[in-house]
Amino acid sequence: MFRNPDAIQAYFDSLVESELTPCISAAIAYKGETAAAFTACRKNDPIYKNFTADTRLNIGSVTKIITGTFIAKLMETGRISVHDNVKKHLPEYPFEDNTVLQLLCHSTGADSFCCNTPRPTYTDAKETFIADILASIQPQHAYAPGTESRYFSYGYSILMEIIERISGKDFETFARENLFDPLGMSNSTFDTHLISKETALMPYSRDTDTYESSWDMRPTGDSGLFTTVSDLLKFAGAMQDAYHGRQSPVLTPWQAQYLFRECTEDKFHRTAAMWRKGTVDHYNFFSDFCSPEACGHTGYSGCMLCIDPTYEISIVILTNSCYLHLDWNNYRIISNKLMGALTL
């Protein structure tokens, strides 16, 4: 099912040796079964002495796929629609003309350049974090809502707040009850108090040779998830099963079909939780071999999840390298390597 695994392992070792990343964990699954998985790291660096496939890594904005999926989970309760006005669920939201879908698709009229709110720690009040985000996008839109898609990362922390208010549960509890526990994602958490330097690694900057100090960060819906390759493949498998009408413990076929469906009239090549490849890869990270229906997301920490429902292939690439993320073609090349070695 997988050709030349030793050569592929040598390839991943070479990525570390070239200093593209200090560590990497990657895998490819076909029809719900892991076809191959690889790890590599700085073998002589004490920071990586405990690095394995079970080491938790912060996946950055790949988190947004999970948050978008939670919105779909809440839709089945009848308490929210993506076409609802944001103010319906968050009365203090400053604008009358934004929908939940626009938050999901980064088309609210805000962008990341207008928001310099620091990430919250457990010594900060969560309410202050949300209030600061809302203050940063006032007094007016940067562009007319729905006419453009400008990346507004903190929009997904606004969505996290909506999820918590509707469900009446904190984000970690909601995630555990609706996703982590049913799928056996035992190495996944938003709570930095549940990880340690023995079980997790923080994002690394090659330019400054420093690691982020995020051991006390509060959960965020935009980039706060720590997880592993095997856990993300469990999630991807549940998405694939539901999409193809097979039994899934967390999603219905209708939810999965919705999460893979382009929802911006092909203007922004997005679904309500992911970026979509399409016939032309506007995001430049999908494997050349993926179908136009492939969906996924990248994360600033050098991570990527791609789910291709047409070929029933899922690819996970996890690193802690902010440098790798500077060129999204790195994800494409690594994915090509994995897909090119897969035999059916």
User: What's the pLDDT score for residue 41?
Assistant: 98
Domain boundaries, the chain: 5-62+171-340, 68-167
Query: Of 54, 37, 40, 27, which is closest to residue 306 (Cα–Cα)?
Result: 27
Q: What is the three-class DSSP state of 118?
A: coil
CA angle, corner 191, sides to 185 and 196, nearest 5? 90
Alpha-carbon dihedral 63, 200, 13, 289, rounded to 10 degrees:
-10
CA dist list (Å): 250 to 71, 172, 282, 308: 13, 16, 30, 19
CA–CA dist 286, 278 (Å, integer): 10
Q: What are the contacts of 171-180 at 24+ separation with CB within 8 A?
A: 171/219, 171/221, 172/219, 174/70, 175/66, 175/70, 178/70, 178/73, 178/250, 179/66, 179/69, 179/70, 179/235, 179/250, 180/231
pTM for the structure as a whole = 0.97
Q: Which CATH architecture has domain 5-62+171-340?
A: 3-Layer(aba) Sandwich (3.40)
Q: Is the CA virtual torsion 188, 58, 38, 344 positive or negative?
A: positive
CA–CA dist 32, 224 (Å, integer): 26
Alpha-carbon dihedral 157, 160, 161, 165, rounded to 10 degrees:
180
Which residues of the chain are modeled with pLDDT < 70? Answer: 113-114
Q: What is the three-class DSSP state of 36?
A: strand
